[in-house]
Amino acid sequence: MKTKQLKSNQILKTTIGAILFLSVSFSGATQAAKMTKMQIASHTSPMPHLMMLVQVNKNDLMLSNQQLASLSEWKHANQMRVKSLMNSIMEIEKDLYELTLEGIDQDELAELRTALAEDRSELIDLKYQCVSNIQKTLDKDQWAMLMKLLKNQEKISASAKSSVNEMQSFLRVSPMPKFMAIILMHGAELNLNPEQNKALEDWRLKNMNHWSILFGEVLSAEKQLTQDAIELKDAKKMMATFKEMTEKRIEMATMTLACRDNMKKVLTEEQWNKVVKLLKSYI
């Protein structure tokens, strides 16, 4: 019981951090407008972004003209589609967020969720092809150096921006509005009465642990996909992992909508409108 409570508290801290991060970094603008290219790439896909790494370190890798031409050919053939998919994912997530606040039910959101899953699936497939092409193009020593550079990049990123990375992971795994975080942060402004506080707290305690477990499982699946891509594991097995991950994301989205519907019943119309206004201020 104590372990479950610790997990619940940990995910709540992440929730609050993510909302604060949105407030500071994305105020008055979309996520896509503020993120760097690497952040957008990381947000939209868990796969390694090796093409960017190769471009930055092409001199250290001592790539031949033939290798550069081969990599450039793949990039020019696929770059526009990759960018299009990343932009589409960002836009769909923004639409999901806003439509959820407008009270759209699950069935009406199903088409958007399907489109999001399809875009993510195609992007993962393209990233896999990219990794495969790079490995075939580089020699053994160059590939080993690239993997070392990738690990160093991950270490630097983790140590320098661990809290930001955690927040970005939170946003990537679940782009839906964080209703309960608003209650935790702005409860005093909402003037909740004891009955309302109890009803919302009961819902949180009943559901948050399961939500946090799903969150952790999605992150683990993303990490596995990254490793499998680097090792060029079987593409069909990777897509099966992606499908399982997508199902967990859908379950998380369903829980978010249930949280929304429950909260709307508990709050007065004035309080609910204030919650919606606060959530909209973070996008």
What's the pLDDT score for residue 137? 94
What's the pLDDT score for residue 169? 60
What's the pLDDT score for residue 21? 42
What's the pLDDT score for residue 1? 45
C-alpha–C-alpha distance, residues 130 and 123, integer Å: 10
* Positions in the chain short of pLDDT 70: 1-36, 154-172, 282-283
DSSP 259: H
Domains 47-159 and 161-282 share a fold: yes
What's the pLDDT score for residue 8? 46
Give domain 47-159's CATH architecture: Up-down Bundle (1.20)
What are the extents of the domains in the chain? 47-159, 161-282
What's the pLDDT score for residue 140? 93
pLDDT digit string, tens, across residues 134-187: 999 999 999 999 998 888 776 655 554 444 455 556 666 777 788 888 888 888
Of 223, 217, 270, 263, nearest in space to 244 by CA: 217
> In which element (H, E) is residue 266 found?
helix 235-266
DSSP E strand stretches across the chain: none
What's the pLDDT score for residue 181? 81
What's the pLDDT score for residue 156? 57
State which amino acid sits at residue 78.
N
What's the pLDDT score for residue 135? 92
**Residue whose pair of structure tokens reads 């960002």 in the numeric block:** 90
Q: What b/e sequence results for 108-147 when a residue is b if at least 16 CB atoms lie within 10 Å of its CB, and e otherwise?
A: ebeebbebbbebbeebbbbbbebbebbbebbeeebbebbe
Give domain 161-282's CATH architecture: Up-down Bundle (1.20)
SS (H, E, C) 105-165: CHHHHHHHHHHHHHHHHHHHHHHHHHHHHHHHHCCHHHHHHHHHHHHHHHHHHHHHCHHHH
Q: How far is CA 126 from CA 187, 203, 224, 271, in A?
A: 44, 40, 17, 45
- Whether residue 14 contacts residue 170, with contact meaning beta carbons closer than 8 Å, is answered with yes
- Phi first, then psi: give them for residue 59, nearest 5 degrees: -70, -45
C-alpha–C-alpha distance, residues 64 and 241, integer Å: 36
